[in-house]
Structure 1
Amino acid sequence: MIEHRILGPQDGELYEPAQACGDRFLINSREQGGRFTLVEHRLPPKVLAAPVHKHTREDEFSFILEGSVGARFGDEEVVAGPGSLVFKPRDEWHTFWNAGDTPARLLEIISPGGLEELFRWLDRLTEELPPEAMQQKAELYGCSLDMEATMALVTKHGLTF
């Protein structure tokens, strides 16, 4: 169980790759008995945060702190700004990206926790992996990826992935 504490604006485990989604891990599920995870995503302009995917175990809640965040649910696309909460339920195809020209930040609450370990693995990649390798890793976390839909979204919005 986690003990009381205060995290400052730069505290937590931080991965901030150039021209990719950065992650600041604030509350890890392993400290919470697996109940939830809290991650801050930091998105440079026009960066796709994740491939189009769905997970079978978790619900995600994204609270937009700054910037403009695009999200796709099936074939529907929306844009959310500061103060908005985006609910990404399990078993629904989705992804999100920075839809603006300035950095975006959002808090991601994942319940139950555990999916953050896939984020950590992706953050530590030093080379581009073939889609099959990414799919195999994602399956370990109950996730499926749609790389064809991902690349179509990248092209449509001029995103970096």
Structure 2
Amino acid sequence: MIDGDDVGKRFAVVEHPMQPRALAAPMHRHHREDEYSFVLEGRIGAMLGDTVVIGNPGNLIFKPREQWHTFWNAGDTPARVLEIISPAGFEHYFRELGAELSNGPPDPQRLAALCARYALDMDMSSVPGLIQRFGVRFPGGPSPAPQ
């Protein structure tokens, strides 16, 4: 929605539409940017270190750099989040990841190189536990366990 190049690289704004019970990402952490998730629609769950929070429309969830985190649609209806990223630059990761995913599951080596370019640590091994604990699905992964 707002590219960092348009605002002196101070911040960027990205909209994330999310399907019901969708896990946005494995546990991960950023080394260069802070993220602020403003919930527009639906219920968003977030794990911030060991703390779990639920955001409803109008809530802001702060995900500081260097903190392991993830987020998901915690409801049975679509959700939308405005992601404010500061400083800008990480919005390009989403474009590159989308291109990588357009051909099916990502190549692990290319995904690792993408994460390295954006100073992003990704814990893929966290996905099964997140699916089990929060009843979510991950693109290309198994469906959520019944609640």
Q: Residues 46 and 159 of structure 1 are in contact (CA less than 8 Å); yes or no, is this contact kept in structure 2?
A: yes
Large movers: runs of 4+ above 4 Å: none
Conservation of the 8 A alpha-carbon contact between 1:63 and 1:85? yes
Q: 1:157 offset after TM fit, Å?
A: 2.2
Matched, 1:84 2:59: yes
Task: Supply the AA of the counterpart residue of 2:26.
Answer: P
Aligned 1:113-152 pairs, distance under 5 A: 113-124=88-99, 125-126=101-102, 127-152=104-129
Q: Which runs of 5+ in 1 are unaligned?
A: 1-25
3-state secondary structure, aligned to 2:106: coil
- Give TM-score scaled by structure 1 length: 0.79
Segments of 5+ residues of structure 2 without an aligned counterpart are 139-147
Corresponding residue for residue 17 of structure 1: none
Where is the helix percentage greater, Structure 1 or Structure 2?
Answer: 2
Higher relative contact order (CA 8 A, sep 6+): 2
Distance 1:155 1:135, change over 3 A: farther
Shift of 1:34: 1.1
5 Å-filtered alignment, 1:2-151, equals 26-124=1-99, 125-126=101-102, 127-151=104-128
Counting aligned pairs with the same residue, the percent is: 49
How far, CA to CA, are the matches of 2:60 and 2:81 in structure 1? 9
Question: CA RMSD, aligned part only?
Answer: 1.3
| CA distance in structure 1 between the aligned counterparts of 2:127 and 2:107, rounded to whole angstroms | 14
Give the TM-score taking structure 2 as reference length: 0.86
